[in-house]
Amino acid sequence: MIDIVVPTWVKDAIFYQIFPDRFARSIDAAPLENLQKWGSAPTNNGFMGGDLYGISDKIEYLKELGINAIYLNPIFQSASNHRYHTHDYYKVDPLLGGKKALHKLLETAHNNGMKVILDGVFNHASRGFYQFNHILESESGSPYKNWFHIHNFPLNAYSRSSKPNYEAWWGIPQLPKFNTKNPQVRQFIFDVARFWIEFGIDGWRLDVPSEINDDSFWQEFRIIVKKANPQAYIVGEIWVDEVKENASRWLKGDQFDGIMNYGLTSACIAFFVGNLLDRSLVKGQNHEPEHEINAAEFSQKINTILDRYSKQIVYSQYNLLDSHDVARFLTIARNDRRILRLAYLFLFTYPGAPAIYYGSEIGIEGRRDPDCRRAMNWDRSTWDIETFEFFKKIIAIRKKYPCLRDGDYKSVFADPKTNVYAYMRSINKERIIIILNNSESVFPVEITIGDYVKDGTKLTCLLSGEDYIVKNYKIYGATIGAREGVILRSTL
């Protein structure tokens, strides 16, 4: 039996995901030609010029919001705006400012108490990757021939009318798949992973790691990364429906510390968005829910998700509502800011590391890729200030009360008729009860709480300051508005 040891800082993390080309353009950035206008409709091939210096310039903004961990989409040299087509794993893309810009960002982030993890794309490279380009030129005579899965020669890498004659991610010729059975390839990837950890990054988010279908590869990867920094976070992009299947294969303590919790995302869409969902926004994706669910069904799903793994893993999950790969949650919720805020209220009072995809806190919308990758809006006069202030408040509450980060989780009330769901976080003598009214009706609070809180206990709402009372094993108090929630705290 393996002892499961995860980084101690992750349960306390508030992640902020940044798509570098679209977040901020530095005032000191070198002038570039042929950039899209900032804020114009995103395209698959266009660049808007965001860079790592720009992110450093916005650290004060992230501090204001309450962020203490940053996840960056790929930053290595590439010919794509998303940079999943890696040319050189040892070079930070010059359009992002190069290695000096990353050094400055790490220094600035660390000096402000923030961790930084990078996107590791190790399943595939690109046609511009040197070793693959060598095969293009030298064909069967290339010493790098076995770095990839080549079927025959010459390589059919640029035809638009026929499939590539080598293994490529989803058959996309731009993304030749590494042969990770090759010891040279394994060592190359492990060296890259170690290099950037030693450079100062705080972990890796692994792109499509399940496609490297080899436990020994990821076991070796973990050993190397953890030797360089035992507190480095390794999180895998594993898309699973946590009710029907799970990621336990990778979460036994010998591979990943956590996964991107899309199973939780799916449950949140099914409950909070429900019958408002425009299925065209999620159709065919692994986080697409089968159907809407009520509070009781949501409670069951959450309990299933929580019971899947050890407590260490549960508290080390990367919990998200959206990302660069999916339509934004606000758009999925038909731009209902109440639903967005209620879902994030849940996320920030749930075990694991909550994550914000850049701009969600100010009301940025976006349909499926590439529309979900819009430029960050820095004109505060156009922000949804109510939502922004709400994010600041719930982040501050999570950071203030250890109960919301370290405490046990228990569902205590789930009514399918009113669609009200309540759960408790507890640690030592502290109790925090969260009540979510996921309906269009005002809810007069009268819910059975059992003997988890003593009769006569006064509960104070951390959002509004209003008081609630426990009598005869029930909570009584002010009404909760439609699509609103409360966070009630007591100390026994």
Asked whether the bond before 42 is cis by omega within 30 degrees of 0, the reply is no
Find, among 138, 124, 254, the residue nearest to 189 by Cα. 124
Each as own residue / partner, the long-range contacts of residues 338-342 (CB below 8 Å, 24 or more positions apart, any chain) are: 338/482, 338/483, 338/484, 339/272, 339/273, 339/276, 339/483, 340/387, 341/387, 341/390, 341/483, 341/484, 342/272, 342/436, 342/437, 342/438, 342/483, 342/484, 342/485
Catalytic residue among 21, 237, 242, 361: 237
Q: 363-374: buried (b, 16+ CB within 10 Å) or exposed (e) per residue?
A: bbbbbbebbbbb
Locate 323 and state its tokens: 């990302």
Q: Return the DSSP state at 11.
A: G
- Taking CA atoms, 402 is separated from 7, 390, 408, in Å, by 17, 20, 11
Query: What count of other Cβ atoms lies within 10 Å of the Cβ of residue 43?
Result: 13
Identify whether the C-beta of residue 395 lies closer than 8 Å to the C-beta of residue 416: no
DSSP structural state of residue 177: B
Catalytic-labelled residue, pool 202, 207, 241, 242:
207
Closest CA to 351 of 16, 17, 10: 10
- Rg for the chain, CA atoms, rounded: 23
Residue 33 CA: distances (Å) to CA of 47, 49, 155: 10, 10, 33
Instruction: Say whether 290 is catalytic.
Output: no
Query: Is 238 within 8 Å of 247 (Cβ atoms)?
Result: yes
- State the DSSP code for 218: H
The two structure tokens encoding residue 329: 């949650």
Q: Give alpha helix (H) positions in 245-328.
A: 262-268, 295-307, 311-314
CB 259 within 8 A of CB 251: yes
Could you confirm whether 237 is annotated as catalytic? yes
Amino acid at 430: E
Q: Which residues are catalytic?
A: 207, 237
